[in-house]
Chain A
Amino acid sequence: EVQLVESGGGVARPGGSLRLSCAASGFTFDNHGMSWVRQAPGKGLEWVSGINWNGGSTGYADSVKGRFTSSRDNAKNSLYLQMNSLRAEDTALYHCVRQTDNYYYYGMDVWGQGTTVTVSS
């Protein structure tokens, strides 16, 4: 079964850090670009960051550029999001998603259930 399972969410103080992880299974991980998409409570979807199949190319939304860093370990079938300088507006459910092909501008055909990040003092 194709599956993405996120972990690492929790409560952080403004200015703090968190590292999200995503464990992939059931497919050839290094054939696919991957992204993180978040959804604030009661709001719509927002693309946060993407990474291509080998980690050689990454992209970020303007709202997180310079604060968040995506990486992947294809040997471990894992995706990561390092979140620094967290702000209250980063509070959201963070989904790990698989792109349909090897770059992060493709559609997203597999979604994890998400991990919740809450930034509050």
Chain B
Amino acid sequence: QSVLTQPPSASGTPGQRVTISCSGSSSNIGSNTVNWYHQLPGTAPKLLIYSNYQRPSGVPDRFSGSKSGTSASLAISGLQSEDEADYYCAAWDDSLSYVFGTGTKVTVL
């Protein structure tokens, strides 16, 4: 059962900036770092952002992450058609479990 809440959907036209929110609590986002994953249709998830804002090598700088208190957000600038995917936030929870967000489907109009 997801304990991190995300909007079910987000959309934008090519070139626009889209932001996805992730709301948690003091036991997860409030005290641990946030990671973001995206999942293209029919494929395995891929790490997009780790430790709140760090990008693994190969991830374009169009993707950026931030965290404040018990919430985090992912921004996609210069939206492209290949960004159409499901996006998940995640964090370690002090109840000794790794928790994922509910997921956000991004549509490029």
Residues of chain A having any CB pair with chain B under 8 Å: 35, 37, 44-47, 50, 59-63, 95, 100, 104-109, 111-114
Q: Are A107 and B35 in contact, CB atoms less than 8 angstroms apart?
A: yes
Give the total number of A-B pairs whose CB atoms are below 8 A apart. Answer: 59
* Bound-state Cα–Cα, A45 to B45, Å: 9
Segment from B9-17, B66-74, B93-101 that makes contact with A: B93-101
Q: Mark B14-29, 1 if CB is under 8 A from A, else 0.
A: 0000000000000000
7 pairs of A and B residues whose beta carbons are closest in the complex: A107-B50, A105-B92, A107-B35, A47-B98, A111-B44, A44-B103, A45-B100
Verify A109–B47 contact, CB threshold 8 A.
yes
Contact A111 B100 (CB under 8 A): no
For B44, give its contact among A35, A44, A60, A114 (CB under 8 Å).
Answer: A114
CB-defined contacts of B39 to chain A, threshold 8 Å: 45
Residues of chain A within 8 A of B98, CB atoms compared? 35, 47, 50, 59, 104-105
Taking CB atoms, residues of chain B closer than 8 Å to A44 are 2, 86, 88, 100-103
Q: Chain B's nearest CB lies how many Å from the CB of A103?
A: 9
B35-61: CB near A (< 8 Å → 1, else 0) gives 101010000111100110000100000
In the bound assembly, the distance between CA atoms of A114 and B39 in angstroms comes to 13
Interface size class of chain B, counting residues whose CB lies under 8 Å from the partner chain:
20 to 34
Inter-subunit contact A112/B44 (CB<8 Å): yes
Question: For the complex, what is the distance from the CA of A116 to the CA of B86, rounded to whole Å?
Answer: 20
Once the chains are docked, how many angstroms separate the CA of A100 from the CA of B99?
16
- Could you list which residues of chain B lie within 8 angstroms of chain A, going by C-beta atoms? 1-2, 32-33, 35, 37, 39, 44-47, 50-51, 56, 86, 88, 90, 92, 96-103
Complex interface: chain A residues within 8 A of B103 (CB):
44-45
Please pick, from A37, A46, A109, A114, the residue contacting B50 in the complex, using a CB distance under 8 A. Answer: A109
- Contacting residues, chain B, for A46 (C-beta < 8 A): 100
A108 CA to B33 CA in the complex, in Å?
Answer: 13
Residues of B near A60 (CB, < 8 A) are 97
Chain A residues with Cβ below 8 Å from B92 are 105
